[in-house]
Structure 1
Amino acid sequence: MVLAFWIFASTMKILREIQMKGKQSDAIFHQIESSIQLNNFVKPILPFPNTRNWVSSPDFLAVIVKNVLLKRPKVIVELGSGVSSLYGGYLLKQHHIEGKLYSVDHEIDYTKKAINLVKDHQLNDFVEVLHCPLVRQNINDHSWTWYDIDNIKLNEIDFLIIDGPPTNEVYNARYPAIPMFYKYLDSGAIILVDDYDRKGETEMVKKWLAEYPDLVFVEKLYTEKGTAVLMKK
């Protein structure tokens, strides 16, 4: 009886490990598939940095690419610079979209790296990387540490990508994005929220929807970290 139970338990453990490896393989395949698809829409003049070391996953980048091509936005703002800045710039340039991408980053070193990447890829006319350090500020009667955007003059944003700041130490650290940018969002503006599967981001989106009646939840996309798609009426 003991031996039979041991064999049963061992077999179940092996099956769970096989199932887990299968899920991991599927996830890896999905990211590779997304990377291959991305190459169909941009033709870079230089290699891109590895997306595994930069924030955006290939499937989230694919969502950005799809929305830029379909919506052809004139003003794109992304919170968090990186490979997405390059994809956005190439899309605007190579698909003849009359727009500009403003990439916001709080860390000076990452800002400099992003600026150099944009310059090396000859995308300066389409991408502007902005250093906006994190500062304490009062937003909706609460104190937050968020980007200092006082010197950014943006109007009629029609595509907002929320992938920063980091949330390692601060719960709901990305909540200020909508309160700070809402008045600049054009009617019909699309908002992408990365990391939506995290509890903080899920609660953050619910809070936005309750506070801003003109904000509509469009759909959840099952990307690596989860993506919420919102729209302003």
Structure 2
Amino acid sequence: MSFRIRAALTGAVALAAAGGAGYLLGGPALAGYALFSTALCGAAALLWRQSRRAQAEQRRQQAAVRQLTEKVSGLSRRVKRLQEDQEQGRRHLADRIDATYARIRQVPGDTRRLVREDDRSGRVLDAIGAVREEVESIPRMTRRLVREWNRIVYAEVEDLTALYRDIEPDRALPQMHGWSAGADLARYLYCEVAEAGRSSVLECGSGTTTVILAYAFRARGHGRVVSLEHDPRFAAATRRMIEERGLGEWAEVVDAPLADAVVGDAVWPWYDLDAVPEGPFDLLLVDGPPASVGSEARYPAVPLLLDRLAKDALVVLDDTRRPDERAIGERWAAELEGFALESLGHDHGTLVLRRGGEAAL
């Protein structure tokens, strides 16, 4: 049975009951009032009921709308996630494609590198073999070095003993080790003066050899060594050694500061030429300026002093175990005519240029 039928039946029963009760209690007037009041209450109840139903329907519709909205929002989120996943997948695929292309482009370079590495592996094996041979040769090399060292030490002792025997000094000779000239060079210079008859020596750089040459000239009874020195401290030290041994008659130390000297198209720092005596000199000893002045610092000696050398002059270059000095000696020999280059087996290395006639650059 529907709500409306139930409501109509309920209203009719209520009206009948109200009318009957009013008629019994108060007559027709009270019965009419009861009927009106009952009808009014029924109408109000009906309106309230309909209002409740309308509110319930509204709430149901609102809930349905919210549910639909949530479904739409969820669907939107899923669509957005799908779009993001699709975009991420697209980017990932693009990156993979780019990486693949990059790897493909590297293939030629990798191939060349593998070829080089294979070649390098061969070189490494060769190097390992060479190292093994060197290691195996160490005992043999050690024995050879010991023999060479013994030879050098014996020769140094022999030369030093000969110097003391020939000079018979009343005090110790200057040191002949470290930066100073060795006993082998000192003995060679002494013999060139005392035995070979050199009478005038010009020395670039002063020190031990200045004293030895002065002793040689004293033994001969005439001659003199002139030593150019740019450093006042070394000049003073050499003068003191000469004075202490009473050799002032046979040696002179000249203060010759470094100045610009022109050789060919180049400018070199070298001894001030105004301080150099005119000569002629039959022996030129080149043992300065020091290497700290510059590359091949001793080269200007022969080009600048060539016209002050005697016809049979001898040029002695010290420290030729160093690459710079050896290059200087070879350069002189290549640029000068009438000079022969000779290498002496001295500890520090000595090159000798022997002049046999007129020479020109």
TM-score, length-scaled by structure 1: 0.87
Q: Does 1:79 find its partner at 2:204?
A: yes
1:119 pairs with 2:250: no
What do you get for the CA RMSD once the two structures are aligned?
Answer: 2.1
Q: Using a 3 Å threshold, how does the CA distance of structure 1 residues 156 and 10 change in structure 2: closer, same or farther?
A: closer
CA distance in 1 between counterparts of 2:336 and 2:139 reads 49
Where do 5+ consecutive residues of structure 1 fail to align? 1-7
Equivalence for 1:36: 161
Measured in 2, the distance between the counterparts of 1:74 and 1:49 equals 22
Residue in structure 2 matched with residue 49 of structure 1 by the alignment: 174
Match of 2:348 in 1: 225
Q: Is 1:200 equivalent to 2:324 in the alignment?
A: yes
Q: Which residue of 2 aligns with 1:60?
A: 185
Indicate how the Cα distance of structure 1 residues 212 and 15 shifts in structure 2: closer, same or farther if over 3 A, else same: closer
Distance (Å, rounded) in 2 between the aligned partners of 1:95 and 1:40: 15
CA contact (8 A) 1:102 1:127 kept: yes
Secondary structure of the corresponding residue to residue 206 of structure 2: coil
Structure 2: give runs of 5+ residues left out of the alignment. 1-132
| Letter matched to residue 178 of structure 1 | V
Q: Which amino acid aligns with 1:181?
A: L
* Contact residue 156 and residue 183 of structure 2 kept, 8 A: yes
State the match for 2:3 in structure 1: none
2: CA distance between counterparts of 1:12 and 1:151?
54
The alignment covers a number of residue pairs equal to 224
C-alpha displacement of 1:230? 1.2
Give 1:11 shift.
7.1
Worse-superposed segment, 221-230 or 175-184: 221-230
TM-aligned CA distance change 1:152 to 1:108, over 3 Å: same
Structure 1 residue matching 2:329: 3-state secondary structure:
helix
Confirm or deny that 1:129 pairs with 2:253.
yes
Amino acid of the structure 1 residue aligned with 2:309: L
| Bigger CA radius of gyration | 2
Question: Percent same amino acid at aligned positions?
Answer: 24
Q: Pick from 50, 68, 92 the counterpart of residue 217 of structure 2.
A: 92
Cα shift at 1:104? 1.4
State the Cα deviation string for residues 136-192 of structure 1 (Å, max 9, x = none). Answer: 332222011111131322221111111111114522111000011101001101111
Q: Distance in 1 between matches of 2:293 and 2:196?
A: 35
**Following the alignment from structure 2 to structure 1, what is the Cα–Cα distance between the partners of residues 326 and 187?**
21
1:58-92 Cα shifts (integer Å, max 9, x gaps): 10111111211233222111111111111111111
- What is the CA distance between 1:18 and its match in structure 2? 4.2
Tell me, in whole angstroms, the C-alpha distance in 2 between the residues paired with 1:151 and 1:82: 18
User: Do the aligned partners of residues 174 and 190 (structure 1) sit closer, same or farther apart at CA in structure 2, a change above 3 Å counting?
Assistant: same
Q: Take 2:209 and 2:134, find their aligned partners in 1: how far apart are those partners?
A: 46
Q: Deviations over 1:25-54 (max 9, x none)?
A: 332222112111212221222212221145
1:156 aligns with 2:275: no
Match in the other structure for 1:209: 333
SS in 2 for 1:71: coil
In structure 1, the partner of 2:32 is: none
2:150 paired with 1:25: yes
- Quick check: 1:165–1:173 contact (8 Å CA) kept in 2? yes
Q: Distance in 2 between matches of 1:88 and 1:131?
A: 18
CA contact (8 A) 1:195 1:226 kept: yes
Equivalent AA in structure 2 for residue 195 of structure 1: D
With structure 2 as the length reference, what TM-score do the two structures score?
0.58
Q: In the aligned structure 2, how far is the partner of 1:10 from the partner of 1:228?
A: 34
Q: Which residue is equivalent to 2:311?
A: 187
The residue identity in structure 2 corresponding to 1:145 is P
Which structure carries more strand by proportion? 1
3-state DSSP of counterpart to 1:102: strand
